């Protein structure tokens, strides 16, 4: 698959051929499992995709109030972006750990239930949509998948009535935000989140927005604007982890 190389400890060289756990199209999966045992993405413990201790770093969603989003729908975070959470999310997003889709998707499903219950007005019977924040096309090609859409599709399996609406995209002019300060992140993304008309749910459909890591709030803010322009009320925003300063 397209993507960044696996970490050195996750690779094996056999008869001059270097491969990792995800090279199953080249090396039989049984041989990979024998030579490269499964390890927890968060701490490296053998025998688990995500061990119980690392699971516990993702908690019930709590409401956070970033300065840039104080007037927006409630923002719910499953964790702080640090330690094992950071390691796990980087492994999933950039390290090719597709096996994390299941545990992370289950955390998303649990959080969606909690957020809907907290809303007091929207339930699964209202057919809300889960909207993943978009990534740059180049990033999707490099990773081999739209990582957040994979999580929303995984989560919806546990949420009768809830479906994914992968209805947002980034303008080609939006560049990689790595290394940009807060002001430049907002400038880079201003007006850069666009809707996909053919994928939009009917106007008035309640939606929940999912993002991976909240830093400045620029991505979330521009996603909210695009959804509002499409006539879609956002019940809440859910982020896997927060790295932002709170007001």
Nearest of 228, 125, 95, 247 to residue 168 by alpha carbon: 228
Q: Which helix (H) or strand (E) holds 110?
A: helix 101-119
Mean pLDDT of 180-196: 87
Point out the least confidently predicted range of 55-59, 172-176, 201-205.
172-176
Query: What are 26-39's pLDDT values in tens digits?
Result: 455 455 555 567 89
Delimit the domains of the chain by residue range.
1-37, 41-242
Query: What are 78-98's pLDDT values in tens digits?
Result: 999 999 999 999 999 999 999
Q: What is the mean pLDDT of the chain?
A: 86
pLDDT at 30: 54
Parallel, antiparallel, or unpaired for β 75-77 and 129-132? unpaired
Rounded to the nearest 10 degrees, the angle between the axes of helix 101-119 and helix 147-156 is 70
State the DSSP string of 152-212: HHHHHTTSTT-EE---EEE-TT----TT--HHHHHHHHTT-EEE-GGGPPPTT--EEEEEE
- Is pLDDT above 90 for 194? yes
Considering all CA atoms of the chain, what is the largest pairwise distance in Å, rounded to the nearest integer? Answer: 61
Mean pLDDT of 177-182: 77
Supply φ then ψ for residue 152, to 5 degrees.
-65, -40
CA 30 from centroid of its chain's CA atoms: 29
pLDDT at 81: 97
pLDDT at 211: 98
Instruction: Find the angle CA(73)-CA(79)-CA(84) to the nearest 5 degrees.
Output: 155
In Å, what is the CA distance from 70 to each residue of 65, 73, 247? 6, 8, 8
Cβ–Cβ under 8 Å, residues 81 and 43:
no
Query: What are 70-82's pLDDT values in tens digits?
Result: 889 999 999 999 9
- Is pLDDT above 80 for 202? yes
HSE-CB at 162 with a 13 A cutoff on CA atoms is 24
Query: CATH top-level class for 41-242?
Result: alpha beta
Listed in sequence order, the DSSP H helices in 56-100 are 83-93
pLDDT at 16: 47
CA 173 from centroid of its chain's CA atoms: 22
Share of the chain above pLDDT 90, in %: 64
Strand, helix or coil for residue 223: helix
The first and second tokens of residue 198, run together, are 């053919």
């Amino acid at each position: 698959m397209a993507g960044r190389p696996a970490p050195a400890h996750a690779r094996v060289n056999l008869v001059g051929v270097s491969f990792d756990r995800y090279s199953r199209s080249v090396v039989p999966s049984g041989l990979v499992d024998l030579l490269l045992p499964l390890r927890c993405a968060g701490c490296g413990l053998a025998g688990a995709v995500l061990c119980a201790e690392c699971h516990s770093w993702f908690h019930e969603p709590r409401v956070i109030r970033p300065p840039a989003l104080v007037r927006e729908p409630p923002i719910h975070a499953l964790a702080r972006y640090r330690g094992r959470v950071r390691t796990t999310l980087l492994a999933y997003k950039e390290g090719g750990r597709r096996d994390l889709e299941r545990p992370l998707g289950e955390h998303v499903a649990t959080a969606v239930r909690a957020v809907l219950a907290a809303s007091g007005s929207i339930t699964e019977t209202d057919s809300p949509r889960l909207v993943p924040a978009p990534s740059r096309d180049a990033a999707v090609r490099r990773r081999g998948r739209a990582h957040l859409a994979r999580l929303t599709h995984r989560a919806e399996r546990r949420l009768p009535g809830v479906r994914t609406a992968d209805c947002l995209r980034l303008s080609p002019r939006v560049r990689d935000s790595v290394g940009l300060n807060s002001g430049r992140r907002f400038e880079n993304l201003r007006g850069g989140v666009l809707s996909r008309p053919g994928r939009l749910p009917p106007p008035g459909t309640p939606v929940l927005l999912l993002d991976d890591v909240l830093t400045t709030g620029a991505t979330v803010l521009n996603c909210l604007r695009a959804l509002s322009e499409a006539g879609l009320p956002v019940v809440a925003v859910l982020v896997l982890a927060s790295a932002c300063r709170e007001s």
